[in-house]
A and B are shown apart, each in its own frame.
Chain A
Amino acid sequence: MILWPASMPPPAWPGPPQIAALREDGTVAPSQGQELNNELAIALYEQMVLARETDAHLVALQRQGSIMHHASAHGEEAAVVGAAAAIRDEDWMFLASREFAAALWRGMPLAALMHHARGTASAPGRGRDAPAPPFWKPARVVSTSPLSATQVPHAAGVAWSARARREDVAALVFFGEGATSSSDFHAGLNFAGVTRSPLLAVCRNNGWATSTSADRQTASDGFAVKAVAYGVRAVRVDGADVVAVFSVVREARDRASAGEGCTLIEAVTTPRAESESDASWSARDPIMRMRRHLEHRGLWTEERDAQLRAEVSADVERAIAEAERPSAAPIADFAEDVYERMPWHLREQSQAMTPRGPAAGG
């Protein structure tokens, strides 16, 4: 007879310690975070405020039924913005479901994001990919699908290409902790490990994949520890600490340039609980934590914060209004871009789509 233990034994392999930089009083723990210059520190804060405001509007639009889908990124701002800010202009980026703020950081206009959310013909990709993650080709933010982890081997392939071409370019790929259960996560990390490719794999661990808790995804001590099996570096970082996230991703990027290959970064976040008090959340809120840091450095005031929030709110509302203008795609459009040139069968079918008009393409 097998006697099953009443509780799970502890994981056999401990994960790496969790790195944090921002303290409760707004100071930065020495050696845990790079000292950010004033300009960057403020920019990171402002971008997180923009991310929070944009997210709130997208959640509202989704609840109103104006857009079909939006996965809230509330509380993920530091993990997303900190990582996006740490890489270089020439690097490539692959988003999962909650990282639109990374595309905004890279220069995607707010209006383009809103066109994307609504699936209008003015969106990147002519609105065909909604509700997949947004992409922004001018800044190498690649088109991804909403499927879990399929983008991980794509990023590994980009990283391999850069290495094979002797170009100092890295690929940053985001995914949630649930995606680590998929074969594509394994295939991508393993490929990058074997080929020493400059892949920065950022796992946002917010504890939940839809309704399933992280302990149903893995028996290991967190997700960074999985790097050990791929022979790549592992880092676990406080994902609500934008200074720490920026620092560890910047270090991983520099190591990639030095030929050290891939790093798996686990950014741990804890979403706000429904019943959580403002005081409790404020202590954990990535935005409030960075604000206390700016205030500690004498870079921020109440007035400036109020001004920023008013500006951001107006920007987001203006972008939403712009995307609400009628700009419907012509009906034959969806037969284009299946192939570079439309084959005979799609020409026939596009005529059936537009019974009164001539077929597009040719």
Chain B
Amino acid sequence: MVQAINDALAHEMRRDDRVVILGEDVGRVGGVFRVTQGLWDEFGDDRVVDTPLSEGGIIGAAIGMALYGLVPIPEIQFADFIYPAFDQIVSELAKLRWRSGGEYPAKVVIRAPVGGGIRGGLYHSQSPEALFIHVAGLKVVCPSSPYDAKGLLLASIRDPDPVLFFEPKRIYRAAKGEVPDGDYALPLGVAAVVRPGRHVTVLAWGAMLYEALAAAAEADKSGVECEVIDLRTLWPVDIETIVASVKKTGRVVVVHEAPKTCGFGAELVALVNEKAFFCLEAPPARVCGFDTPFPYALEMEYLPLARRILPALLETAGI
């Protein structure tokens, strides 16, 4: 996946000279995960900027670049470090188009690695997507495969609105797959049904998609056919695909790494209740991280791995 993201960035920087990258250690060293490797060598200081260590400064400066007419792609080294930039994202980036009546939109794509499972501890493992979904004016994307990562990143860069592009770092190198050399953008706001089934709808994204698929394969042995949906774009979410699936299955389980309370799963369950309540055969279920800081020593217990998802699938299916 690292290669696919790097390929998308290089492709778009060659195609569009307004695209610039900025962040901590993104230049000479190519980022701590090497996602921007080689870009500084190819494009130089005026396109790839090693910035001072200040997330608020990175996003604030990126907003200025966007106002000027560039297309900045700032990297926040870990999503856990994004909070100093929260004010710039929430109060400025998300609101510029609205408050200026469309006269001063600021198009910025913020890339940040998210998620646990790399022994990163409580400050290198978080999944803060719900905080940004809650803010009017932002789009939130989280790919699960190299193919999707390239196509969704190209679409995010070309989309007119600010995008938070969350990269599941646990599968940065573990997720492998064919990625075409050429230009392809996958539309935002379109989910993928990655495993069709008729008994239980499973909503997942990022690294947890693979856990959901593993649990679905196990459930299949008990005769429970799960329909696993990779949301890909978290917001605006593909409500039609979700509702169509739940109307078919009558059952839904949401899986995410972030803490349960007020996580995105809460909104998804509420939406299902609003739009498909009378089709439901069982209470919607959530399999999530816990409402604690992310534990270094117990990360595999914290994460909603397949072994925690499977019982929820069987119970929701009434087995």
A interface vs B, CB < 8 Å?
Answer: 92, 124-129, 132, 135, 137, 142-143, 145, 147, 150, 152-162, 164-165, 171, 183-184, 186-188, 190-191, 194-195, 336-341, 343-345
A150, B99: Cβ atoms closer than 8 Å:
no
Residues of B within 8 A of A186 (CB): 54
* Interface residues on chain B, size class: 35 or more
Besides the contacts A128-B101, A156-B64, A158-B65, what 10 more A-B pairs have beta carbons closer than 8 Å? A150-B88, A150-B91, A154-B92, A159-B64, A186-B54, A191-B51, A338-B136, A339-B137, A340-B105, A343-B189
Residues in A whose Cβ lies below 8 Å from that of B97: 337-340
Q: Are B64 and A155 in contact (CB under 8 A)?
A: yes
Give B contacts to A, CB under 8 Å. 20, 46-47, 49, 51-52, 54, 56-57, 59-70, 72, 84, 87-88, 91-92, 95-105, 136-137, 139, 160-161, 189, 236, 239
How near does chain B come to A142, taking the closest CB pair, in angstroms? 6
For the complex formed, measure the closest distance between the CB of B86 and the CB atoms of chain A, giving whole angstroms.
12
Quick one: which of A127, A132, A184 has the most chain B CB within 10 A?
Answer: A184
Most A C-beta atoms less than 10 A away, residue of B59, B63, B67, B160 = B67
The answer to whether B98 and A337 touch across the interface, beta carbons within 8 angstroms, is: yes
Q: Which residue from chain B places its CB closest to the CB of A126 in the assembled complex?
A: B101
In the complex, the answer to whether B96 meets A143 with C-beta atoms within 8 Å is yes
Residue pair A152, B101 in contact (C-beta under 8 Å): no
Q: What is the CB-to-nearest-CB distance from A24 to chain B, in angstroms, rounded to a whole number?
A: 41
Grouping DSSP codes into helix (H, G, I), strand (E, B) and loop, the A interface class, with mixed when no group exceeds half, is: helix
Q: A143–B239 Cα gap in the complex (Å)?
A: 34
Contact present for B84 and A183 (CB under 8 Å):
yes
Which of B68, B98, B104, B189 contacts A157 (CB under 8 A)?
B68
With beta carbons under 8 angstroms apart, the residue of B68, B88, B100, B137 that contacts A161 is B68
Q: Are B64 and A154 in contact (CB under 8 A)?
A: yes
Asked if B99 and A156 make an inter-chain contact with CB atoms under 8 angstroms apart, the answer reads no
Residues of B within 8 A of A92 (CB): 67-68
Kindly report which residue of chain B lies nearest to residue A136, judged by CB atoms. B103
Q: A137 near B56 (CB under 8 angstroms)?
A: no
Contact of B60 among A126, A157, A338, A343 (CB under 8 A): A157
CB atoms of A153 and B88 under 8 A apart: yes
Contacts of A160 in B (CB 8 A): 49, 61, 64-65
Q: Pick the contact of A145 from B54, B95, B103, B161 — CB < 8 Å?
A: B95
Residue of A nearest to B107 (CB): A340
B64 and chain A: residue at smallest CB distance: A157
Closest Cβ–Cβ distance, residue B52 to chain A (whole Å)? 5
Roughly how many angstroms separate A142 CA and B96 CA in the complex, as a whole number? 10
Q: Tell me the minimal C-beta distance from A112 to chain B in angstroms.
A: 12
Q: How far, in whole Å, are A321 and B200 apart by their CA atoms in the complex?
A: 63
Assess whether A142 is in contact with B67, with CB atoms less than 8 Å apart.
yes
B101: contacting residue among A125, A147, A156, A159, CB under 8 A: A125
A190 to B53, CA, bound (A): 10
B52 and A340 contact, CB distance less than 8 A: no
Contact, CB under 8 Å: B61 / A153: yes
Distance (whole angstroms) from the CB of B105 to the closest CB of chain A: 7
Expressed in whole angstroms, the Cα–Cα distance for A54 and B104 within the complex equals 26
| B98 lies within 8 A of A338 (CB) | yes
Are B91 and A157 in contact, with the CB atoms below 8 A? no
Q: A125-B101, A340-B105 are in contact. Are A156 and B137 (CB under 8 A)?
A: no
Please give me the 6 A-B residue pairs with the lowest Cβ-Cβ distance, nearest first: A157-B64, A153-B60, A187-B57, A161-B68, A157-B61, A343-B236
CA A344 – CA B64 in complex, angstroms? 30
Q: How far, in Å, is A159 (CB) from chain B's closest CB?
A: 7
Complex CA gap A154/B89 in Å reads 12
Tell which of B49, B56, B72, B103 touches A184, judged by Cβ atoms closer than 8 Å: B56
29 A/B residue pairs, CB under 8 Å, sorted by A: A92-B67, A92-B68, A124-B100, A124-B103, A126-B101, A128-B99, A128-B100, A129-B99, A129-B100, A143-B100, A150-B60, A154-B60, A155-B64, A157-B62, A157-B67, A160-B61, A161-B70, A165-B46, A187-B52, A187-B56, A191-B52, A191-B54, A338-B98, A338-B137, A339-B137, A340-B97, A340-B161, A345-B236, A345-B239
Given contacts A132-B99, A142-B104, A150-B88, contact A191 B57 (CB under 8 A): yes
Is B102 a contact partner of A183 (Cβ separation < 8 A)?
no
